[in-house]
Structure 1
Amino acid sequence: MSSSKAFSADFDSTRYRLLTEASEAKDGDCVLYWMGRDQRVEDNYAMLAARGIAKEQNVPLKVVFPFYTSFNDMSVRQFTFMSKGLEEVERDCRALNIPFMVKVSSPDQVAETVSEAAKEHKAGAVVSDHMPLKIFKEWNAAVAADLDKSDVPLFQVDAANVVPVWVASDKQEVGARTLRPKINKLYSRYLKEFDKVEANTEKCDLGPLTNWKEVLGSLDAKKVDLSVSVPSTFVPGRTAAMAAFQDFCDNKLKKYADNRNDPNLDVQSGMGPWIRFGQVGFQRLALNVKKLGKYSDGVAAFIEEGVVRRELSDNFCFYNSNYDTLTGAAGWARESLQLHSTDAREYTYTKEEFEKALTHDDLWNAAQIQLVNEGKMHGFLRMYWAKKILEWTTSPAQALEWGVYLNDKFSFDGSCPNGYVGVGWSVMGVHDMGWKERDVFGKIRFMNYNGCKRKFDIFNFVSKYEPAAGNALAAGGEIAVEKKAKKSAKKQKTK
């Protein structure tokens, strides 16, 4: 990691990587921040870095956002959430006299779009934020190669993680137990308050406001499902995110440590969608809960989930380019799954049957309906949900593909490291260990209906999501209320 005279002395050089041969800002008309993952103005190290370089160079900061017309299996649901959040970003930028430019781009044109913007605005340096997914790496590499032709540096700043992913570890970690001590050692150094972003002092042409309806209308209808509903469960933007987080702190955090794995108890933070689109960074949330001075168990559990577990997902995707295929699994898991890939399955379903929640399992159906209707599934249930897809598909590779597809299509926080690793943990044992060998699963950790029943009231959860039970009966299964009745009758008989 190279240092650069482009940055002010007080900017932590470990926060950025230099992606070009050029390392010093050139004389130019501006510094360009290529916004991607971190879609916010405040509490954004990439924005602060870009503004700092601009101040050192005595030029204005400009922001460009390439709005891609498709991305993996994202539906109009996520694109709408993203665009609404970006509306707030645009307003915040304009309030600071910072031009915010949206450039509609197909995925294969994003790098070209950024390079052209750098040339058009005569940028003396470009700053990007960090996302460890393959396509983002490809975009950054292509932009870096083009900028090097004109000796313009590209600095990449990790503004998403509390501890920058390349600082936390220099390798793919086995699991939370190996990353946790490394994070804990560095945590206090990086968990600090943010500076405020300074306004441009130069006269800037802010241009007209973005026509967001037109931007959304540019989505590639062949690749983006425009029929998926856009529920109101999560209101986009940083302002809404912080209001929701305040509600979590006031009413849920005290119960979080003991009850977060019960889908019937609404004690989770629900911040995933806002974090996924960078409308809020976890460092801000961690700072805020630390200031509370109470609910120590809840705070510790929340930090564990948001820092260690979330940053572990970034670590996996950063160091393992096969994060979305079985090739990325550990050797023991890959061999075990292969050995049991032809085992007989009691049930198998098509992708459409999964999507429409038409299985024999009322709990699985309810979890899928929650995902489709609300845009997010309870975290504990996603583990069960994904493991049943492994059990009810014809191969582990198909299970991983369909699990990722469903999560990316319907979940507000899909198409991100946390989503890939969440499905990967369930299907191919990512960050887990080998367990007792069994049919279909091999050594992958097993979860079943009875195990869930011991943890929470299944009937209570299923009853909230029609037609989960009816679909299960139609598929030849039993439902929670019947199982409960049978268990009660059996107890009576043994008395």
Structure 2
Amino acid sequence: MGPKKRQLSPTPPKKKDKTDSEDSSEEAGTTSASLDEVKSEQTADPSERLFQEINKARAAVGKSIEDFKFNKKRVRMLSDCKVASEDCGAILYWMSRDGRVEDNWALLYAQRLALKFKVPLHVCYCLVPVFLDASIRGFHFLLGGLEEVEKDLLSRNIHFHLLLGAPPKVLPKFVSDNNIGGVVCDFAPLKVPMRWVNEVCKKLPEDVPLCQVDAHNIVPCWVASEKLEYAARTIRPKINNKLPEFLTHFPPVVLHPYSSDVKYEKVDWVRAEKSLECDRSVPDVNWIKPGYRAGIKMLSDFVEKKIRWYNDKRNDPSQDVQSNLSPYFHFGQIAPQRAVLVVQKYKKQYKESVEAWVEEAVVRRELADNFCFYNPNYDSLKGAPEWAQKTLNDHRKDKRPYVYTKKEFEDGKTHDPLWNACQMQLVRDAKLHGYMRMYWAKKILEWSKSPEEALEIAIYLNDKFELDGRDPNGFVGCLWSVGGIHDQGWGERAIFGKIRYMNYEGCKRKFDINTFMAKYKTISSKINPWTASKKTKK
């Protein structure tokens, strides 16, 4: 007889009867789950007050994930092996899309397993030298957040390992070398990370199970819908019907009671940065800082200063009412679910604004994941609906009023000062206002040699300069503008065919374009303090 096996599939432990949907109202004090102790009930800093309130909300749910009825629908088994050996040495959480400690269902599930098996818990991140068209700007934001993750995990007696290389090459070896008995990974619907997961699954030892937790979407992607959805109107009722089950509070990640025998070596962040082979020509930005704490501060600024104006002014690029949380969502540095829980507290005061923001943060964002998960052609016109492909092809030979190269677009050297301002916002601020993103991409379609080239240029520029590039939202936004996905046919016109049209005069009627253009003629980039602190002496 071989060694005994223990279940790795998501069977909840029989502990206290607190469910995933409970919002406990009992008073909670400081627990080992909170990295930062609650210093005072009163604070003048709204972001610090929010930080304390969130810590208390976690503590009120339960002392740890063991006291919490984990919803097993968040988990799916990927490997043929479903159980871990009795003699497994540790549990590993392979962190990828969700780079945070708190409010992370994947990490919580991994700790739940490690506590159940009474073994150490490890977390690893596999840093690849190149990822799609990501520039050093995006990698610096990623590394800044992971530095915080390392510190937060060590304070909980959990080892963090930064593995240099593609996951299929480095992760199976780590599993074998460290007697890992079970692996938990998070979920991303893009082709490259999905391929990584499939290859890792094949290369893991046969007796090591691999399961996946959707720690990014509020309603897990495979639960929200089992098929490709046509539009927001088709997925909205499916998500809204499931929100009462999944939009819950999180328990804390606690001080792990089982220590690893493996000698821990802190991550060499300078070496990690040097290993990157990406485009280093794109400078960092100084208006946003990476990490969970910075994300909570940005969330606090939004609900304290901006949300009251969001419904009326969110489509006006000259007004600063956006939440600016997208980079934190993209890198997983704060959970969209946490942000929604916070924003919903303001529904009585600003009902329309809260509903509008939640629509974007939940329905539209999860619709993008649905599209990329069920349509592998999300980055190609082959992914567009048939009517859109036909109409673009019918107008393929239409004369373009202007034709620009990729380099001319990248440098903002078109005849249109409004489009150039959009590109300068992208280059200098690492973001592009949602309304202007539509105009920006549609004009690339109008001024490119072909629809295929237009989509390729839009994705390239978005991924190179946006902090939240290489994201389902970005791919869907580009293909919506160029290829009509999640939209309908409109009045037919040259070049666009029946694809929705936007123009300069329409923007001029909608908002003060001069204010927007003036701003992006003068703004400048500065070095991110994180980057400066990591410079090495020659």
CA offset digits 1:55-85 (Å, max 9, x no partner): 1111111001001111000000000000001
Instruction: Indicate if the aligned counterparts of 2:314 and 2:322 stay in contact, CA closer than 8 A.
Output: yes
Q: Which residue of 1 aligns with 2:220?
A: 164
CA distance in 1, matches of 2:263, 2:284: 31
Correspondence 1:44 to 2:104: yes
Q: Does 1:239 align with 2:239?
A: no
Please tell me whether residue 117 in structure 1 is matched to residue 171 in structure 2. no
TM-score by length of 1: 0.91
Distance in 1 separating the partners of 2:120 and 2:505: 61
Amino acid at match of 2:78: L
Judged with a 3 Å threshold, the aligned counterparts in structure 2 of structure 1 residues 38 and 390 are, in CA distance, closer, same or farther, namely same
What is the match of residue 444 of structure 2? 389
Deviation at 1:200, TM superposition (A): 1.6
Q: State the SS of the aligned residue for 1:160.
A: coil
Partner of 2:49: none
Match among 435, 453, 458 for residue 380 of structure 1? 435
Q: 2:74 aligns with which of 8, 11, 15?
A: 15
- Give how far 1:411 is off: 0.2
Tell me which residue corresponds to 1:489.
Answer: none
Amino acid at match of 1:38: D
291-300 or 453-462, larger mean C-alpha shift: 291-300
Q: 2:188 aligns with which of 116, 131, 136?
A: 131
C-alpha contact (below 8 Å) 2:10/2:75 kept by paired residues: no
**Contact 1:233–1:375, Cα closer than 8 Å, also in 2:** no
Corresponding residue SS for 2:442: helix
Q: CA distance change for structure 1 residues 172 and 206 in 2, over 3 Å: closer, same or farther?
A: farther
User: Residue 121 of structure 1: CA displacement?
Assistant: 1.2
Q: Is the 8 A contact 1:7 1:49 kept in 2?
A: no
The structure-2 alpha-carbon separation of the partners of 1:206 and 1:96, relative to structure 1 and needing over 3 Å to count, comes to: farther
Unpaired stretches in structure 2, ≥5 consecutive residues: 1-6, 14-68, 524-538
Matched, 1:228 2:285: no
Say which SS state the counterpart of residue 127 (structure 2) adopts. strand
Q: Distance in 1 between matches of 2:358 and 2:263?
A: 39
Structure 2: distance between partners of 1:125 and 1:291:
38
CA deviation map 1:67-114 (0-9, x unaligned): 111100000000000000100000000010000000111xxx321211
Once the two structures are superposed, what CA deviation does each residue of 1:165-209 show, in whole Å capped at 9, x if it has no partner? 000000010010000010110011100000111222122356232
> Could you report, residue by residue, the CA deviation over 1:130-174 in whole angstroms, capped at 9, with x for unpaired residues?
000001111111111122x42211101000000000000000100
1:196 paired with 2:230, answer no
Instruction: Output one character per residue of 1:190-241: Cα deviation in whole Å (capped at 9) or x when no partner.
Output: 0000011122212235623212121111011xxx110111111210001001
- In the alignment, does 2:340 pair up with 1:286? yes
Q: In the alignment, does 2:158 pair up with 1:98?
A: yes
**Match of 2:265?**
208
In the TM superposition, 1:456-471 aligns within 5 A as 456-466=511-521
Alpha-carbon distance in structure 1 between the residues aligned to 2:258 and 2:221: 35
Residues of 2 paired with 1:381 and 1:303: CA distance? 20
Correspondence for 2:469 among 411, 414, 418: 414
Q: Give the secondary-structure state (helix, strand or coil) at the position aligned to 2:376.
A: coil
How far apart are the structure 2 equivalents of 1:177 and 1:239?
A: 35
* Partner in structure 2 of residue 65 of structure 1: 125
Query: What is the distance in 2 between the residues matched to 1:232 and 1:396?
Result: 35
Aligned residues: 459
Q: Which amino acid counterpart does residue 103 of structure 2 have in structure 1?
A: D
Instruction: Map 1:256-405; keep pairs closer than 5 Å.
Output: 256-292=310-346, 293-405=348-460
Paired residue secondary structure (1:464): helix
Report if the CA contact (8 A) 2:8-2:113 is conserved: no
**2 CA distance for matches of 1:326 and 1:140?**
26
CA shift in 2, pair 1:22/1:445, >3 Å: same
> Equivalents in 2 of 1:39, 1:327: separation in Å?
32
Q: Distance in 1 between matches of 2:162 and 2:283?
A: 25
Match of 2:490 in 1: 435
- Is the Cα contact below 8 Å between 1:375 and 1:410 reproduced in 2? yes
Deviation at 1:7, TM superposition (A): 4.4
Measured after TM superposition, the shift of residue 5 of structure 1 is: 4.6
Partner amino acid for 2:257? T
Aligned equivalents of 1:467, 1:338: Cα separation in 2: 40
- Shift of residue 296, structure 1, vs aligned partner: 1.3
| Match 1:183 to one of 234, 239, 242 | 239
How far is 1:41 from its partner? Answer: 0.5
Aligned counterparts of 2:79 and 2:206: Cα–Cα separation in 1: 11
CA contact (8 A) 1:100 1:206 kept: no
Task: Report the counterpart of residue 486 of structure 1 in structure 2.
Answer: none
Task: Please tell me whether the aligned partners of residues 424 and 430 of structure 1 are also in contact (alpha carbons under 8 angstroms).
Answer: yes
**CA distance change for structure 1 residues 263 and 206 in 2, over 3 Å: closer, same or farther?**
farther
C-alpha distance 117-7 of structure 1, shift in aligned 2 (>3 A):
farther
| Secondary structure, aligned partner of 2:521 | coil
Where structure 1 has 5 or more consecutive residues not aligned to the other structure, the ranges are: 469-495
Distance 2:454 2:9 in 1: 49
Q: Distance in 1 between matches of 2:197 and 2:226?
A: 20
SS of aligned partner of 1:196: coil
Query: 2: distance between equivalents of 1:8 and 1:185?
Result: 23
Deviation at 1:6, TM superposition (A): 5.7
2:263 and 2:447 map into 1 onto residues whose CA distance is: 54
Q: 1:32 aligns with which of 92, 95, 99?
A: 92
